A = this chain, B = another copy of it.
């Protein structure tokens, strides 16, 4: 990326200005607002170069320039300076996220609200996957003769529950036995390991091996294996309406309809999310409905092996500096609260 210092300055100025004003940036504006020590004409030349190199675009002939996706990419990778959060904001995060809540679900819901409120963008939180969590205990609650409510408690003190339909009726005593047996076999394993466990292995040293039990265990095991299937939590959906680029109803519809499709959203985020924080700009996004948007994704950890992803969704013209600071702050806070 051979951009000399002044080109970088100009690019930074344009991206920075455009992020705030949402209006194409002209050479005069830059020379007025940013102290580059050169005249508008010089800046014009630089801009012309930057456009040719693909970092800028012109909405129409003889308008100011706006950053292209590539321009944003360079900005994000090399130019931006992440500010620090205020103490109040950090306090707020700690307060809101601190575990006075009953379940992971509630934390995650709070997280979505918090992120959207602080950023003014739309927050998306993918429910935690629990594959790394260790199962401490299983409890089987009889609901009807053919339904069992499965409650698992993980090492980290988080609860997962699921209704399991069994093929044949079972009595309460047998259930107690089953429960004990499952606990003996599975307690201490991570959910990942449990997923990999086959019935055959369990059966190996099963005392009684009645067919019915087999079927029931199979179902229960299935219940434990299922991932906390793709729940998606949204916060600040309406925030996109504040963005001038979404004053077009058609665009609003596109994105809101997308957000209604949990499965799609999950997919889209899972695809771009990496280990730490990552940024996906405009057409870098897999979904074409998101080609006008940027997605900042990050990994969160709730302790006890609970790991998931969250994201902030905004226009490509989103305030990356601010958002990255926020995301980092939230990750830090969560780590501090629930970290090893």
Contact = CB atoms under 8 A, between A and B. Distances in A.
B249 A241 contact: yes
Interface stretch (A32-40, A79-87, A252-260, A320-328): A252-260
Contacts of A157: 143-144, 147
Interface string A153-189: 1000111011111000000000000000000000000
Contact of A159 (B100, B149, B236, B252): B149
A256 B256 CA distance: 11
Interface in A241-267: 241, 247, 249, 252-253, 256-257, 260
A303 interface: no
Interface stretch (A5-13, A134-142, A281-289, A332-340): A134-142
Contacts of A62: none
Interface string A100-115: 1111000000000000
B165 A102 contact: yes
A151 interface: yes
A338 to B, nearest CB: 13
How many A residues touch the partner, as a band?
A: 20 to 34
Contacts of A144: 157
Nearest to A140: B139
B159 A153 contact: no
Contacts of A159: 141, 143, 149, 161, 163
Contacts of A151: 139, 141, 149, 151, 161
Contact of A103 (B103, B141, B163, B249): B163
Count the copies.
2
A157 to B, nearest CB: 5
A105 B161 CA distance: 13
Nearest to A161: B161
A238 interface: yes
A237 interface: yes
Nearest to A258: B238
B256 A237 contact: yes
Interface in A8-46: none
A227 to B, nearest CB: 15
Nearest to A146: B157
Contact of A153 (B139, B141, B241): B141
A224 to B, nearest CB: 14
A23 B242 CA distance: 29
Contact of A238 (B103, B142, B236, B253): B253
Contacts of A236: 260
Nearest to A242: B253
Given A103-B163, A141-B151, A238-B253, 4 more contacts: A149-B151, A159-B161, A241-B249, A252-B252
26 contacts: A101-B163, A102-B162, A102-B163, A102-B164, A102-B165, A137-B141, A137-B142, A139-B141, A141-B151, A141-B159, A142-B153, A143-B158, A147-B157, A149-B151, A149-B159, A159-B163, A236-B260, A237-B256, A238-B253, A238-B256, A238-B257, A238-B260, A247-B249, A249-B249, A249-B252, A252-B252
The 4 A-B residue pairs whose C-beta atoms are closest, nearest first, are: A102-B163, A144-B157, A238-B256, A241-B253
